[in-house]
Amino acid sequence: MGTLDGKVAIVSGSGRGIGREVALKLASEGAAVVINDLDKDPAEETVADIVATGGRAVACVGSVVDEDFAERFVNTAIESFGGLDIIVNSAGYTWDTVIQKMTDEQWDAILDVHLKAPFRILRAAQPYIKANPTDYHRKVVNVSSVSGLFGNAGQANYSSAKAGVIGLTKTMAKEWGRYKVNVNAVAFGWILTRMTEATADDDSFIEIEGRKIKAGLNADLAKHAAARIPLGRPGTPAEAAGAIYLLCTQEANYVSGQCLTVDAAGR
């Protein structure tokens, strides 16, 4: 018996990184999960890993910023598993530079993926949630960042989007409380993903929606950053997923409109 038996979850950006670990954790606790990624292969790999351990999962491949994505994502859960109980908005990436060099395209792209996409997904879910009341609490967890709490040089776009996520979270907690839905956010510090791993190659890039995006941290900078963390290291995706999972449990039924800082830097 898992703590989430019978629940249905959608997790954006769950083919890789933190989102993947969230999906694996929710599935291990009994939830049926809709997996999303830009690319088919990582999404289907995550689905296969869940199914191989006796869980239930299906893929919903595509970009969260596409106009039709939110409705398709929500409907995949309803049509495949008969409901929707947990929404985790975790898709995203960073595209950094100082403000005088930041283009409108950079600004819009990051605001779209981190703030507009969660807004659209929640808007798409509202009719189903309103029309299908439950005797238990549904859960929403939106992924923010310590950059949204404290700012970060070179991340005017990302910091603004992640601050907006907190505002969205607090508003939705007020709007959806009457539906018995807990809406919370997590603000992550340094978590090791393909975007934040230390690399000796300063020319390390990944491609996202046709754009070459700088990935990884300079190895020396990463070493110094780790030394400033009392635990001496960044967090793992599994540790990040554990915090999201906590907010998806019924033990968190009286936690709503909050932002949980998941960070060992002692800020």
Q: Which residues are catalytic?
A: 158
3-state SS assignment for residue 204: coil
Tokens coding 194: 């393909």
The span from the CA of 109 to the CA of 99, in Å, is: 15
Tokens coding 159: 């910091």
**8 A C-beta contact, residue 43 and residue 98:** no
Tokens coding 79: 């049509």
The span from the CA of 170 to the CA of 258, in Å, is: 7
- For the chain, the helix, strand and coil percentages under 3-state DSSP, each to the nearest 5: 45, 20, 35
The span from the CA of 157 to the CA of 98, in Å, is: 10
